[in-house]
Structure 1
Amino acid sequence: MSTPQKHTTSERRIDLDWVRIGAFGLLIFYHVGMLYVSWGFHIKSAHRLVWLEPLMLFLNPWRLALLFLVSGVATRFMLGKYDRLALLRARSARLLIPLIFGMLVIVPPQAYDQVVESAGYPAGFLDFYLRHYLSFAVQFCPGPCIVLPTWNHLWFVVYLWVYTVALLGVLALWPPLADRLGTRLAAALAGPWLLILPCLLFVVWRLALFPNFPSTHALFGDWYNHADYATAFLIGFLLARQDSVWSELERQRWATLAVAAGSFTVFILLRAGLGATLAPPPALKISAGVAYGCYQWLAMAAVLGQARRHFTADGPVRRYLTDAIFPYYIVHQTAIIMIAHALQGSGLSAGLEASIVIGGTVLVCVSTYEIVRRITWLRPLFGLRMEAKQPVKVIPQPA
């Protein structure tokens, strides 16, 4: 039976473990949804589900920023266990080994299925891999124009490693910076400012950077995403040990959720064209950007507050998924694309097709983890420690 954990400033935040598990878990459903909406994706289903787009937009503004925020908290706690150099080694092993393995082994089938569907590539996978995938060049233009090799969904790993390296570089020059800035930021975010100030920051990024730097996940030149994700990462890092902030997030959880819902409603209505006859397009675009930026932070704050209140129970499920979720993340998009590609032309309904893709992807994720965690040399390729943690044996003392 799981037991609730008291709110403390300990190095194990069960509520944030659940947030991380939930945010990564949403990726399976989100990326399946990408098969059916009008936005660009590596491959597309024959079905288009217009009603799905508002649901996708409900998640899109905050799901990834929330992961970076939780990663920032984890980085701060790791600094309590390791010195900076040891932390860099640990995070590099955890991120760069799976990244390189993923780019060489996991991601290539995604790129192959994409060029088959988009460019009508006639040859087999081995021909594609040897002739094109390892070319280190832009390929298949003017069709999909893919830079190969690619990291596709593993961009998150790259960005997190870069932010960690940059942060550790700054701390090497000024070690006390984390504690001083964390204390000052917590004081500045007292009361309603906890909801207002971060909102303003995300609004500025949306209005000032997004129009000129749309999302690419290509690392270089992706300035809007860097502003968004690095901000979330730093917020998590600086506030990790500021228990007053986490208590305030919990206290304001329902008010935050209500305001987040209002901000999202305004954004969706403006995006749908409501008010087009009442205000000029620039004003509507600015209003939509304000609503989007505020919704980003308020949604994250609502999730964090609710999790701190309701998701503090530990147990075997949490412990299992905490280790499993990163290998799930590594393989999930390849599974989605390969299964969806195999179903092309099957004539299945959208509901049945999506159910097969989701069920097959979950099966691939679970099977992969169950195999990988049992084979020592495979574990680091999927972001796991070389050896599984063993329970500590308690030796009874003689009376």
Structure 2
Amino acid sequence: MPALDRRYDIDWMRVIAIALLLIYHVAIGFQPWGMMIGFITNEKSWEALWVPMSMLNVWRIPLLFYVSGMGVYFAIRNRSWKQLLQERARRILLPFFFGMLLIVPLHIYIWQRYYKFDIDYLPGPGHLWFLGNLFVYVVLLAPIFFYLKKNEKGELLTWIKRLYSTPLGILFMMGIFIAEVLVLDPVPFEMYAMTWHGFVLGLLAFLFGFCFVLCGATFWDMILKWRWLFLVFAISFFVIRLIYLQTSTPTYMLSVESNCWIISFFAFAYKYGNHPDNLLRYLSSAAYPFYILHMIFLYLGSYLIFPLDIEVRIQFLLVLLFTITGCFITYEFLIRRISFIRPLFGLK
């Protein structure tokens, strides 16, 4: 498959990753432990929903960091270091601080109202912690990225391309991720938000995502060739975890499973999604505002729908539909059309 200046498959990866995040957050409201992590929780649990959730949970956040690192590769092609930091400050820091001061307090307000707690203004990163991490990664890794950019024919990049021309490169990468969990010993593995585990894991994924695109077709053709093997390994690890190990699964196994899912996802997206599409153009622009906004409409939908005496699966679909519809209407008729609001949600 030829390398293209525009990688539409990476745009699809970003859109799908945000969609999975949204669905996952809706599902948390139907787990009995949802309130413990600050979600409005339905009295009617749907615990069977945890099976697909537990599969997604080990790779949905690392996937976002990988894809974000890939995006930086394209951002630096026509930018200096200073221009990159200025552009990322506009696209990341401005929405981050705006969200901390307005978006997060709004959905916390709805949570307080639902549980009849005292109403307080509580600014904070909330679900936007991811953006704070991203900007720090750009600052820390920019010297490495620009060095690689300026030395694309150097020995280091030649070695990286050779390493990732075979699955041995993936084994090398997985070894680094395994070392991360052995050193930091995260409990649970899936606790990414505002933890050292989440920070280091995200930093590594961000770096490797950049390197994968930097390698060009060498890497992508390799994972395309071996995609079924990575998928079989991912499914096998998940089945073993689900049936035999459950909560006692070692973190190094979760790390390997996570990366097997992600690499197979990359390969299938590269094979089937690397072509222009009008729908993709719209969704790619909408994904970032949806991510920033979705907790407000998720909490509002939960507030309105959970008290209704209807079947739990219907409630799940209604909350999901309410969240998507609320985000779409706000994006289409407010964010997308009013120029001074666009930068607050990461749009040009």
TM-score, normalisation: structure 2: 0.90
Q: Give distance in 2, aligned partners of 1:115 and 1:313.
A: 45
Q: Give distance in 2, aligned partners of 1:230 and 1:349.
A: 42
Q: Tell me the residue number matched to 2:345.
A: 382
Partners of 2:192 and 2:199 within 8 A in 1: no
Given residue 117 of structure 2, which amino acid in structure 1 is its aligned partner?
Y
Q: Which of structures 1 and 2 has the bigger CA Rg?
A: 1
1:314 to 257, 272, 276: 276
Given residue 196 of structure 1, which amino acid in structure 2 is its aligned partner?
L
1:236 has 2:209 as partner: yes
CA deviations over 1:159-182 (Å, ceiling 9, x no partner): 111101111255678975787654
2:127 to 108, 128, 153: 153
- The farther-off stretch of 369-378 and 192-201 is 192-201
Give 1:345 deviation, angstroms: 2.5
Q: Give distance in 2, aligned partners of 1:171 and 1:312.
A: 24
Given residue 246 of structure 1, which amino acid in structure 2 is its aligned partner?
W
Q: Tell me the residue number matched to 1:36.
A: 30
Partners of 1:163 and 1:230 within 8 A in 2: yes
2:56 to 55, 59, 79: 59
1:84 has 2:81 as partner: yes
Between the two proteins, the alignment pairs up a number of residues equal to: 341
With over 3 angstroms needed to count, the CA separation of the structure-2 counterparts of 1:252 and 1:174, relative to structure 1, is: closer
Give 1:354 deviation, angstroms: 1.2
Give 1:20 deviation, angstroms: 0.8
1:191 to 166, 176, 200: 166
Helix, strand or coil at the partner of 1:295: helix
Q: Give distance in 1, aligned partners of 2:160 and 2:31.
A: 39
Q: Tell me the residue number matched to 2:111.
A: 114
2:262 to 281, 286, 300: 300
With over 3 angstroms needed to count, the CA separation of the structure-2 counterparts of 1:92 and 1:235, relative to structure 1, is: same
CA deviations over 1:127-179 (Å, ceiling 9, x no partner): x3xxx42xxxxxxxxxxxxxx42121111111111101111255678975787
2:239 to 265, 282, 301: 265
What do you get for the CA RMSD once the two structures are aligned?
A: 2.3
Q: Give distance in 2, aligned partners of 1:342 and 1:351.
A: 16
Moved over 6 A (4+): 172-175
With over 3 angstroms needed to count, the CA separation of the structure-2 counterparts of 1:216 and 1:180, relative to structure 1, is: same
Q: Tell me the residue number matched to 1:75.
A: 72
Give 1:50 deviation, angstroms: 1.8
Give 1:104 deviation, angstroms: 1.9
Give 1:204 deviation, angstroms: 2.5
Q: Give distance in 2, aligned partners of 1:370 and 1:63.
A: 26
Given residue 174 of structure 2, which amino acid in structure 1 is its aligned partner?
C
Structure 1 alignment gaps of length 5 or more = 1-5, 123-127, 134-147, 274-284, 386-399
Partners of 2:70 and 2:213 within 8 A in 1: yes
Q: Give distance in 1, aligned partners of 2:144 and 2:19.
A: 33
